[in-house]
């Protein structure tokens, strides 16, 4: 799909060319040549300061269209700006059905904050994010979608740029895989369907895999996951994928993703408004599978274990009830004060099982609490940890991927709230105050001494209106960050 060429050719066979321009700055060398050929029209359009302007060349060059992307002031330019601009471009070329695109890379790297390699990564990643569309189930038409066939990038150091753009595109497509899973309706994405998606991914990349069925969970004593699943006719699944990138290493990074394929709240039922969006409650599982897709493609020399406890949270005559006491795989007992605090229950068994399988560190990711949206809104993921070094690894990775994370406190008074049950070791819902913190720390009770970070993506996994980075629906949040943690480990 990608081609790298050093020298820009005005008559190369492209449907469209794309270039970036800064406010109050001179045009980059290749852009100067192109501007002269089109009689100074790029300079004229540059003054319009639009986010993306489209100019028709009227036969003056081979490409029929030039996309001119406004990059703003150089001093404010960053990788985050470029990622969003490239995603915007992806949306535009999808609309215009462009099949062959030329990119004047140096026009996007004319800043100390964004070098050519960075720009190449973001061209690949941003285009992938922008090209994504949500599948729909409307009556089919005779319209045939036109997919982009080739992107030619003009820049120096061909080998390094090819690796960079491939890496970026892989990150974007892994995110899109997570988005796709989140956006599938609940009746078409049951725990069984999610397990089948994981198996398909495992076969694609050569991962080892294991799917635990209800009988396996009963034999092992996964009482927390089984209790949540009791309210649904759909059988639960415990999904395990193993990537072995370094047989000589004892280090095994564990990802645990919440795979609640639909969440009604159970007996503690949610309000009817927007309940249809609760198909997204497996966003943590989707992020883990998206990250594993990236890892399977790039093949870092690191070992990774992915564990996904999956069920539905519905209500029938067998459903979990407020006041019930259940015994988790770890042996700890839990008083269920709120059946809508079910994610932490299935994650308790997921985290314990990952530990039994030998992980040396753990990152769990889950659409866990509405409280995190109140605290941080929809643009930042909340985090809690028991290990400073692992937290720093995750924060470094999130800074590289542009997925914002904010650390929440883990002080003793919050932990004490979890022990407020008179009849069990833990209370799954000790009240509204510090709800995101106590929910995360509940999972930490099962991580125990294993280095652990919890990521609450309830606010970031879903967007209720389109943005430049993607359409309404699943965002694939944290897929890139999880993968980046692993990639960075390889480089240590």
Rounded mean pLDDT, 174-179 = 98
Give the pLDDT score at 31.
Answer: 92
Give the pLDDT score at 99.
Answer: 95
Task: Kindly report, residue by residue over 250-309, the tens digit of the pLDDT.
Answer: 999 999 999 999 999 999 999 999 999 999 999 999 999 999 999 999 999 999 999 999
Q: Is pLDDT at 89 greater than 60 in this prediction?
A: yes
Give the pLDDT score at 47.
Answer: 67
Name the pTM for this structure. 0.96
Q: Is pLDDT at 359 greater than 90 in this prediction?
A: yes
Which one of 83, 85, 180, 344 is the catalytic residue? 344
Q: Give the residue range(s) of CATH 3.40.220.10 domains in the chain.
A: 2-155
The residues with which 152 forms a beta bridge, in sequence order, are: 3, 102
Task: Look up the CATH number of domain 2-155.
Answer: 3.40.220.10
With b for 16 or more beta-carbon neighbours within 10 A and e for fewer, the 174-197 pattern comes to: bbbbbbbbbbbebeebbbbbbbeb
Give the pLDDT score at 49.
Answer: 62
Give the pLDDT score at 126.
Answer: 94
Binding site feature residues for Mn(2+)? 258, 263, 281, 340, 342
The residues with which 147 forms a beta bridge, in sequence order, are: none
Give the pLDDT score at 321.
Answer: 98
Rounded mean pLDDT, 375-389 = 98
Among 172, 196, 181, smallest CA distance to 258 is for 181
CA distances 98 to 10, 94, 126, 303, Å, are 18, 7, 16, 39
Reply yes or no on whether 83 is catalytic.
Answer: no
Return d(Cα 80, Cα 88) in angstroms, integer.
Answer: 12
To the nearest whole percent, how much of the chain has pLDDT over 70?
97
Among 303, 193, 191, smallest CA distance to 255 is for 303
Q: Which phi and psi (to 5°) does residue 247 adopt? A: -65, -20
Among 432, 434, 482, 427, smallest CA distance to 457 is for 482
Reply yes or no on whether 407 is catalytic.
Answer: no
Q: Are 350 and 410 in contact (CB under 8 A)?
A: no
Give the pLDDT score at 140.
Answer: 67
Task: Kindly report, residue by residue over 189-215, the tens digit of the pLDDT.
Answer: 999 999 999 999 999 999 999 999 999
Binding site feature residues? 258, 263, 281, 340, 342
Residues 443, 321, 306, 80, CA torsion sign: negative
59's CB contacts (< 8 A; 6+ apart) are none
Task: Kindly report, residue by residue over 49-87, the tens digit of the pLDDT.
Answer: 668 999 999 999 999 999 999 998 888 999 999 999 999
Specify the fold of 174-491: Aminopeptidase (3.40.630)
Rounded mean pLDDT, 391-411 = 98
402's CB contacts (< 8 A; 6+ apart) are 79, 80, 83
Which one of 214, 244, 270, 327 is the catalytic residue? 270
Give the pLDDT score at 145.
Answer: 63
Q: Is pLDDT at 160 greater than 60 in this prediction?
A: yes
Q: Among all chains, which residue has been given the structure tokens 């198909």?
A: 279
Give the pLDDT score at 46.
Answer: 72
* Secondary structure of 30-58 in HEC code, one letter for each residue: HHHHHHHHCCCHHHHHHCCCCCEEEEECC
Query: Maximum Cα–Cα distance for the chain, whole Å?
Result: 81
Rounded mean pLDDT, 425-454 = 98
């Amino acid at each position: 799909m990608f081609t790298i060429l050093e020298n820009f050719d005005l008559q190369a066979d492209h449907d469209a060319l794309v270039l970036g321009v800064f406010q109050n700055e001179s045009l980059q060398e290749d852009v100067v040549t192109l501007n002269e050929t089109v009689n100074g029209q790029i300079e004229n359009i540059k003054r319009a300061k639009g986010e993306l302007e489209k100019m028709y060349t009227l036969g003056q060059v081979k490409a029929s269209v030039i996309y001119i992307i406004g990059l703003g002031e150089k001093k404010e330019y960053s990788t985050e700006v470029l990622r969003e601009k490239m995603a915007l471009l992806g949306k535009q070329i999808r609309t215009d059905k462009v099949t062959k695109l030329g990119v004047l890379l140096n026009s996007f790297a004319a800043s100390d904050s964004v070098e050519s390699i960075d720009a190449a990564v973001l061209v690949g990643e941003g285009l992938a994010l922008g090209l994504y569309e949500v599948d729909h189930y409307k009556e089919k038409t005779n319209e045939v979608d036109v997919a982009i066939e080739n992107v030619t990038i003009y820049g120096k150091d061909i080998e390094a740029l090819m690796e960079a753009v491939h890496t970026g595109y892989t990150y974007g497509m892994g995110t899109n895989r997570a988005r796709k899973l989140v956006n599938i309706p609940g009746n078409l994405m049951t725990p069984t369907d999610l397990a089948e998606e994981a198996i398909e991914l495992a076969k694609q990349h050569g991962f080892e895999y294991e799917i635990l069925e209800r009988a396996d969970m009963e034999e092992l004593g996964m009482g927390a996951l089984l209790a949540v699943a009791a309210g649904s006719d759909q059988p639960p699944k415990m999904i395990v994928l193993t990537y072995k990138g370094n047989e000589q290493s004892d280090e095994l990074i564990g990802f645990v993703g919440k795979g609640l394929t639909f969440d009604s709240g159970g007996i503690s039922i949610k309000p009817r408004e927007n309940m249809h969006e609760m198909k997204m409650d497996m966003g943590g599982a989707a992020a883990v599978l998206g990250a594993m897709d990236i890892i399977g493609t790039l093949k870092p020399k690191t070992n990774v274990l992915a564990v996904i406890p999956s069920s539905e949270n519905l209500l029938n005559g067998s459903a979990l009830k407020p006041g019930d006491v259940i015994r988790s795989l770890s042996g700890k007992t839990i008083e269920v004060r709120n059946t809508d605090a079910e994610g932490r229950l299935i994650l308790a068994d997921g985290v314990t099982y990952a530990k039994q399988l030998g992980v040396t560190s753990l990152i769990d990711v889950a659409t866990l609490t509405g409280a995190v949206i109140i605290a941080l809104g929809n643009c930042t993921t909340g985090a809690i940890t028991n290990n400073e070094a692992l937290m720093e690894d995750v924060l470094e990775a999130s800074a590289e991927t542009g997925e914002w994370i904010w650390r929440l406190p883990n002080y003793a008074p919050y932990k004490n709230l979890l022990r407020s049950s008179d009849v069990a070791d833990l209370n799954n819902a000790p009240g509204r105050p510090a709800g995101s913190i106590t929910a995360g720390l509940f999972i930490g009770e099962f991580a125990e001494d294993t280095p652990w970070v919890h990521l609450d993506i309830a606010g970031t996994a879903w967007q209720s209106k389109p943005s430049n980075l993607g359409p309404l629906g699943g965002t694939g949040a944290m897929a890139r960050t999880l993968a980046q943690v692993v990639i960075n480990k390889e480089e240590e």
